[in-house]
Amino acid sequence: MEAGLLLQYLIIAVAVLVSAWVVLKKQFPGVVRKARGAIAVRLLRPGTEGWRQSLGRRIAPPATGSAGACGGCDSCGPTPPKAH
């Protein structure tokens, strides 16, 4: 396979993965949060290497102080008034 064609396929694959990730985050925030949490828990097990634990801390979803009734995106509350 020609090197230029391989590079083209790699760029297209990265673009498809990035776009799929954006769609998942926008359409299914709860699923993405659960998946990130599951991956982080596996990486943060006691006795694993330091680089895996630091990667797990970076992957872990941010903690929410008071999750809404559904535990989703925290955007169901009242919207603040517009400032003119």
pLDDT band at 61; cut points 50, 70, 90: confident
pLDDT at position 48:
85
Which of 61-65, 66-70, 77-81 shows the lowest per-residue confidence on average (mean pLDDT)? Answer: 66-70
The residue extents of the domains of the chain are: 24-61
pLDDT at position 28:
93
CB 68, CB 76: distance < 8 Å:
yes
Quick: pLDDT tens for 43-58. Answer: 988 888 889 989 999 9
Nearest-CA neighbor of 70 among 17, 37, 29? 29
